[in-house]
Chain A
Amino acid sequence: MNKHILSGNEAVALGAFQAGVKVASAYPGTPSTEILQNFATYDGVYAEWAPNEKVALEVAIGSAMTGVRTLFTTKHVGLNVAADPLMTLAYTGIPGGLLMVCADDPGMHSSQNEQDNRFYARFAKIPMLEPSDSQEAKDMVEAGLLLSEKYDTPALLRMTTRVCHAKGIVGMDSQSQAEVPTAEGFKRDLKKFVMIPAFAKLRHPLVLEREEKLKAVSETSPFNRMEMNDPRIGVITSGISYQYVKEIMPEASVLKLGMTFPLPIGMIREFAAKVERLFVVEELEPYIEDEIRILGLPVEGKAFFSRLDELSPDAVAAGFAKAGVLPFDLPTAGEKAPGSEMPRPPLLCAGCPHRGLFYALNKMKAIVHSDIGCYTLSVLPPLQSIDSTLCMGASISMAHGTAKAMAQAGIDDKRPVFAAIGDSTFFHSGITSLLDVIYNKGNVNVIIMDNRITAMTGGQQNPGTGKTLQMEETNAVDIITLVKGLGCSRAREIDPFDLEGTIAALKEEIDHDGPSVLVTKRPCIQLFRQDPKAVRVVDTDACIGCKMCLKLGCPSISQGDIIPDEEGKKERRYAYIDAATCYGCALCEQVCKQNAISIVAG
């Protein structure tokens, strides 16, 4: 068999292509991004980055209404954004298969929360599949589309970071179980698709009827199976947790659940009756455990397996040890070695265009509501220049609320209020926030950091870049024109590599009463890597070791060895610039008061 090692995300893309999906829409978000990036490379498919997840799901719904098999992908918090169309889509259904892939991030490797999106399936009453590895991820794509088509419902494929990004062996051959149905085109069906109250009332009972049918499907789903072994311990589990259970408790009996909404109640009862002690091992919330409790069955789970963070083989072993049933001694892992606690947080790259802005903001004594992107890293020392990060687009609206409240309540605080937001995040959901500021005569200084790409997720095109996901040329939004169209006449571009100019611009906007927009325009250096312009070097005769340059938090700048006392000079360590990684942005040269940093000679 033709085999490859694929990530869960690559496997979903392959599965979607092989199952005849023709249209896909998404907004990038870790850990889901690679699904569409991979899908977009297959022949004969259309894939797009939408400005946000709500738009993406609506595009997908419109597509599936014509009978075409369609894919929507999102990270967990993105489904909050798309929840509005989802909840009514659950009423209308769609003729074409519509698979919604949702990638949760237990452990918050790259997210602002670790919400458990399995509850969305229950909330919307739509079928949910949960793969445990890449092969299953691929197989569940077609299964989900078939469920969607047969039961006139979107299907949710719920993944997690460890399934999305772990790689495992996948058979590449097409294993389509059924022929792809011919799309019948758009058909008018007012009582199904026009959700005025009178028609929605007709649809709601159908949702409940569908749920009953899906319960029966779950009882016989091939993705739900009992692996009977030692009857003394029975474990119900799903997703990546299944792998940890098999690893740690190879002798236990396992009920592996792949279809987790609706849950196979009959199968759970049957399994519970066969085992002496019943456990549920699941990440995050007691989603399965609570349902079993409702059945009145004795079950143990969250007492041993935390609701916090992702699980791991270690956490699962520790849980079973606590429960007194671990069949082996916990491995004698040594203590962490001394020195292992040194922090190495991710940071803005050498030459990152965000650095100059946040260095300047740090000097402003301002309240800075920030948004979601690489620039959120400026919360850490030494830049430490933002006050909040909540969700996509929130910076501008929160800044507006803060400014209004301070004025209304007469709070004695003269600090100016800034909002700092990236280009892609602004397109995602900052535009409506800015509209609110302008419409309601707010006093917020908005900074849009236009680095010409969606950087944090690894460099995706967006409406400002002039290219589509499939690399076709397209319109590039002019941010200044857009902002002026919203009614903000005070808007201009600045260069964040020019520190003096940036500081002056910020001060000017602080002094100005009313809303303003500054656009810092510099491309992301990771994605538009050019030859370093002019690598900087430290003149050790001039350097006094004052550490001013270190306050930039640049990974290229460090300290050299300690230089002992000399006549007239105290003990000090010169600054050192790593020529291999310096990009030549010249911020360090601008902050050095000793003029000790300059372009490498020659």
Chain B
Amino acid sequence: MNRDDKKTTNVLVVGTGGQGVITASEILSDVAMISGFDAKKSEIHGMSQRGGVVTSHVRYSEKVYSPMIMEGEADIMLSFELAETVRWLHYVKPGGRVITSRQRIIPPAVYAGMGSYPEDAEQVIQQRAGDPIVVDALPMAIKLGNPRLVNTILLGVASTLLDLSVDSWKSVIADRVPPKFKDLNLVAFDQGRKVT
């Protein structure tokens, strides 16, 4: 028997310090809340701003207890970096979807001989996750004029897989970003929606 937990939507957002993982998960949980769901999110602050691993768990449903997702139960993993996608693949449930930026950030620890970067990350993701969506989010963002738009582009992709209305996404994004970047972010969100 499997756990009867089909009603809760679990989204795992991952990346490295400074990439915008936390902001993305805040936007998602706000969208879930204004859509009438109970929503919880959990991440670790503190040392992650020094370029370390960052994960944020977002869960929404009629009633949510645990703020953390179990391994093997993420409906969607939204990743900002290929090796981080590989690191957390075991959180994705069978049939869950992986959305990942194609960006690679090689940690200096690798140059210090503490391990090696998974050069075959993309193949591993293709093998392990059914039908992953690999996005050239950084080049897209740079083309739009600001590398920080990666965040909104990836949320655009995720929005096509989640049962939350486009209007609520756009209203939260418009609320969250500085006014002068509002239009650009909405364009980035739409471009993300067109990726699939």
Contacts and interface: CB of A to CB of B under 8 A. Distances in A.
Q: Do A and B bind each other?
A: yes
A342 B118 contact: yes
Given A328-B3, A380-B109, A458 B39 contact: no
Interface stretch (A261-269, A332-340, A407-415, A438-446): A332-340
Interface in A68-122: 109-110
Interface in B1-56: 1-5, 16-17, 26, 29-30, 33, 38-53
Interface stretch (A215-223, A361-369, A426-434, A553-561): A553-561
A5 B39 contact: yes
Interface string A246-258: 1100000000000
A577 B38 CA distance: 45
Contact of A331 (B66, B70, B86): B70
Interface stretch (A286-294, A309-317, A591-599): A309-317
A349 B50 contact: yes
Interface string B82-106: 0110111111011000000000001
Contacts of A317: 70
Contact of B111 (A167, A168, A526, A547): A547
Interface stretch (B120-128, B175-183, B184-192): B120-128
Interface string A535-562: 0000000000001001001110111000
Interface stretch (A141-149, A158-166, A173-181, A480-488): A158-166
A328 B70 CA distance: 14
A341 interface: yes
Contacts of B115: 341-343
Contact of A344 (B3, B16, B69): B16
A377 interface: yes
A553 B120 CA distance: 25
Nearest to A34: B45
B112 A553 contact: yes
A243 B120 CA distance: 38
Given A30-B45, A331-B71, A343-B114, A381 B65 contact: no
Interface string A320-336: 00000001110111111
B33 A3 contact: yes
Nearest to A380: B109
Interface string B119-138: 01100100010000000000
B41 A110 contact: no
A246 B40 CA distance: 15
Interface residues of B, number: 65
Nearest to B109: A343
Interface string B140-178: 000000010000000000000000000000000000000
Contacts of A161: 44
Contacts, number: 198
Given A243-B65, A314-B70, A331-B73, A342 B108 contact: no
A339 B124 contact: yes
A214 to B, nearest CB: 29
A379 interface: no
B41 A342 contact: no
Interface residues of A, number: 64
A345 interface: yes
A345 to B, nearest CB: 6
A313 B70 CA distance: 6
A359 to B, nearest CB: 13
Contact of A328 (B2, B38, B147): B2
Contact of B120 (A328, A339, A554): A339
A580 interface: yes
Residue among A161, A314, A333, A559 facing the most chain B CB atoms (10 A cut-off):
A333
A172 interface: no
Given A246-B65, A346-B17, A331 B47 contact: no
A31 interface: yes
Contacts of A329: 1-2
A332 B96 CA distance: 13
A347 B108 contact: yes
Contact of B107 (A339, A342, A456): A342
Given A314-B70, A342-B116, A344-B16, A458 B33 contact: no
Nearest to A558: B106
B52 A345 contact: yes
Contacts of B195: none
A333 B10 CA distance: 14
Nearest to B91: A333
Nearest to B127: A337
Question: Shortest 5 CB-CB distances between A and B: which pairs?
Answer: A339-B118, A333-B72, A110-B46, A346-B52, A346-B50
Interface of A: 3, 5, 30-31, 34, 109-110, 133, 161-162, 165-169, 240, 243-244, 246-247, 312-314, 317, 327-329, 331-349, 374, 377, 380-382, 456-458, 526, 547, 550, 553-555, 557-559, 580
Given A244-B65, A247-B5, A340-B88, 12 more contacts: A5-B33, A30-B45, A161-B44, A165-B45, A167-B41, A314-B70, A334-B128, A336-B90, A339-B118, A381-B109, A458-B49, A557-B108
Interface of B: 1-5, 16-17, 26, 29-30, 33, 38-53, 64-73, 83-84, 86-91, 93-94, 106-118, 120-121, 124, 128, 147
26 contacts: A5-B41, A109-B46, A110-B44, A165-B43, A165-B44, A167-B40, A167-B42, A168-B38, A240-B67, A328-B4, A331-B72, A331-B73, A333-B73, A333-B91, A337-B86, A337-B90, A346-B17, A347-B51, A347-B109, A380-B109, A381-B109, A381-B113, A526-B49, A550-B108, A553-B112, A557-B111
